[in-house]
Structure 1
Amino acid sequence: MKTLFYYVALCTILLLQSCSSSELVENWKNPDIDVFVAEKVLVLAMTNDVKNRKMFEKRLVDQLKDKGVNAVNSDDFFNPEFTSRPRTEGELDDLEREMLAEGFDAILVSKIVGAEDKVTLVQSYRNWDRTFNGFEDDYYSSQGLYIEDEKMEKYTVYHAESALYCICPTKEREVIWKGSIDVTEPDSDRKAIKDYINMLVWALEEQDLLIITPEL
């Protein structure tokens, strides 16, 4: 039965890729979690491109809300100066406590990285095997993305990674899911973002994370 499931999942991915420029190239789900539903999830994109970050977060929040998920974009939670400088681990501890107080129990982080060719793209996979224990660890290690040089803005191949974290103060490991998606030769930034989000939402829904499809 499991073999059949993976075969069907593979066929579905191939079908999606035939009509989209996006490709799910890495996918990991915490084996201890079968279904995860969040009361309130923060959607956070980490990139120095403010315009595309806002576009990405808004589109993803809108799609999650359409699926019945209580999602909030980062601009509605962070103050305008939060990303203006690197934050300390202590400050991120305070942020997580503030998120808990505001009713958040999950955060969906997307790190958008561009690459000109496959050689550069391979380099971005070096940190894939690194395990982050939670949102704080991931955010702290990735803050440089907010201040990357402008030369990272325009590419024909986009690589981005997303991770879903539970804000669970009683658990040592908060990682629920992480995935890596490539978007190849998009016609525009808007098209790249659209294709990436479509694949991201599909991957979450297929694995019963955030989006739960009622059984017929």
Structure 2
Amino acid sequence: MKNKVTIFIALAALLAGCSTTTEITSSWRKPNATADNFDHIFVAALTTNIAAKQAVENGIQEKLQEQGIKVDKSLDAFPPDFNNNNAQRKDLVLSRIQGTGSDGILTIALLKEDTETHYRPGMGMWNPGLRYGYYNSFWNYYNNWYPSLYDPGYYDETKVYYLETNLYNAKTEQLIWTAQSKTYDPTSINSFLKGYLKTIQEQMVKDGLIKPTAAITASK
């Protein structure tokens, strides 16, 4: 738990910048779950860092409201003085959530932070897929790479954040949908949100959990 909290704090403290890349690594949907099942969703970012929690929950609220879905946030249901003892009482937590009238609960958890290291050649780019180019001739291969042997390359590092987004039935508590994603080198909580929210929204539409924005607009 400590690691998750620390990662969220680090993510919230980064400098401002443009949107970053988020990609879905896997997703699963319970059979027969459709967009018609959820009109009111309770959103909970699982972190004690208030700044990160507020940014994530507000961002998801905005995206879901674009789909015509009513949203309640954990920050409103559980104020900052809602202490750890209360947060671990199942009856109290569920009664607060169900009291909002939500039919779904969407949770967001940052699973881990990792660092990917890549070697950048001094000249050119190594690509073993080019086997039908200069790879077929010794001289062409030698002549292509020889000059770069004396131009030292370098290693660079990329921060990668792995997140899990789950949707539960608010009444039965059963898992309805889950998606794992990874985000590369977010420069700020805002840049992270731009990439993450767009990707998650598109995946939820793709998996049939929410309707496309165009469909909502056309029905009005």
Instruction: Give the TM-score normalised by structure 2.
Output: 0.62
Contact 2:38 2:103 in 1 (8 A): yes
Q: Note the C-alpha offset of 1:36.
A: 4.1
Change over 3 Å in CA distance of 1:157–1:40 after alignment to 2: same
Aligned equivalents of 1:79 and 1:20: distance in 2? 30
Report the Cα distance in structure 1 between the residues aligned to 2:166 and 2:72, rounded to whole angstroms: 16
The Cα of 1:86 is off from its aligned counterpart by: 7.1
Deviation per residue, 1:152-209 (Å, 9 max, x gap): xxx821111000011124xxx6111000010012232321122111111111111221
Is 1:157 the counterpart of 2:160 in the alignment? yes
- 2:142 corresponds in structure 1 to none
Instruction: Work out the number of aligned pairs and report it.
Output: 158
Is the Cα–Cα contact under 8 Å of residues 35 and 211 in structure 2 kept in the other structure?
no
> For the Cα contact (< 8 Å) 1:37–1:212, is it kept in 2?
no
Structure 1: stretches of 5+ with no match in the other structure:
1-18, 120-154
Which structure: greater strand fraction? Answer: 2
2:43 is matched with: 43
Higher relative contact order (CA 8 A, sep 6+): 2
How far 1:47 sits from its partner (Å)? Answer: 1.9
What residue number does 2:110 align with? 112
Q: Distance in 2 between matches of 1:36 and 1:112?
A: 28
CA distance in 1, matches of 2:178, 2:211: 15
Deviation beyond 6 Å, 4+ runs, structure 1? none
How far is the alpha carbon of 1:20 from its aligned partner?
5.6
Amino acid at match of 1:71: V
Tell me the equivalent position of 1:93: 91
Which position in structure 2 is the counterpart of 1:209? 209
RMSD: 2.7
1:76 is aligned with what amino acid?
D
Compared with structure 1, are the counterparts of its residues 33 and 105 closer, same or farther at alpha carbon in structure 2 (3 Å cutoff)?
same
Secondary structure in 2 matching 1:80? coil
- Distance in 1 (alpha carbons) for counterparts of 2:20 and 2:187: 12
In structure 2, C-alpha distance between the alignment counterparts of 1:20 and 1:36, rounded to whole Å: 31
Cα distance change of structure 1 residues 95 and 86 upon mapping to structure 2, 3 Å threshold: closer
Alignment check: 8 A CA contact 1:21 1:184 kept: yes
Structure 2 unmatched ranges of 5 or more:
1-18, 118-157
Label 1:113 to 1:102 Cα distance change in 2 as closer, same or farther (>3 A): same
Aligned counterpart in structure 2 of residue 102 of structure 1, from 94, 100, 103: 100
The residue type paired with residue 68 of structure 1 is G
Which residue identity is paired with 1:164? L
Moved more, 205-214 or 26-35: 205-214
